[in-house]
Amino acid sequence: MMRLIRNIFLPLVLLSCLWQLLACGAAEAEYDATGIFEATEVVVAAEQTGKILSLNVAEGQTVTAGTEVGVIDTVQLALKARQLGVSKQVLTAQLPDVQRQLGTLRQQLQTAREEEARFAALVKEGAANSKVLDDARSQVALLQKQIDALASTLENSTNSLRAQESVTDVQQLQIIDQLHKCHIVVPATGTVLEKYAECGELASVGLPLFKVANLDEVFLRAYVTGEQLTGIRLGQRVRVFADRGKADRKEYAGVVSWISPRAEFTPKTIQTRDERANLVYALKIRVKNDGDIKLGMYGEVRF
């Protein structure tokens, strides 16, 4: 009886072992590397400090690049812009009227020159002494110096006021830029993954507001050994499988879009074809997402 049991049981055991070996060999041949699906994520942060008046985004919502989705309080900045506008008007009003202020002296100089010419004619005819002519010439020279000095003063004053106007213009542009940054705009088309702030909260510069990523195109970050790397190139088309469970593996077409220029130690959560390898190279495989691939999902690749 024991011999009969042994003759029946032993072939079954051998058959079971053989099946396991074949299964392991097939499993090993199913993929060359595994990894995790990820996307290019953009964290949108506040660029100004103030109360969040509105933030119209929700997790899972699809947003378009350039769309305004919120605003931070702009009252103080708007008042500052108006103040600078009034300051510029005051500076403009202080600009001297050069022609009018020099006009009187220029008229006096014209009269003095006419007097000089008349006295010169009288002296030439002997009807007047030379002292009168000298006094007339001195008056002309004095008026000319006064005109030159006043013109220089007015020019310096005008340049100073113009420079202050330029400073005010720059300050206004800065305020306008800050006002523009109070409007929260989506930087890239994608899906809102997380929302960190709500309407009514106080925002500060750099405070994260929400995270957005383009889920239409995802990347499988996988790791390969140096031996595998020799047969991989940028732009190479590969087969990618999204691991959604034992009974659900979906195949996608992928393209190798990035290969790390340096080696690193094997991450504990990543398997490679040769698990004994200590150093591996990271690479990214671009995959068009049909909506079934979720971020953080495991994937497999065949080169």
pLDDT tens per residue, range 239-252: 999 987 666 788 99
In terms of Cα–Cα distance, which of 111, 112, 115, 108 is closest to 150? 108
Number of domains in the chain: 3
Q: Which of 18-27, 118-127, 136-145, 250-259 has the lowest mean pLDDT?
A: 18-27
DSSP-based three-state secondary structure for 106 = helix
Residue 5 in this model has a pLDDT that exceeds 70? no
Task: Please report whether residue 242 resides in a domain.
Answer: yes
First and final CA of the chain: distance in angstroms? Answer: 54
Is residue 33 classed as helix, strand or coil in its secondary structure?
strand
The pLDDT, as a whole number, for residue 118 is 85
**CA-to-CA dists, residue 14 to 4, 17, 26, 174, angstroms:** 16, 5, 18, 81
Bridge partners of 287, per DSSP, are: 218, 254
Instruction: Indicate whether 13 belongs to any domain.
Output: no
Among 256, 255, 277, 257, smallest CA distance to 267 is for 277
Q: Which residues of 98-121 are buried (b: 16+ CB within 10 A; e: fewer)?
A: eeeebeebeebbeebbebbeebbe
Range of the domain at 118: 75-181
Does position 171 have pLDDT exceeding 50, yes or no? yes
Same domain, 290 and 235: yes
- Do residues 93 and 189 both lie within one domain? no
Write down the pTM of the prediction.
0.70
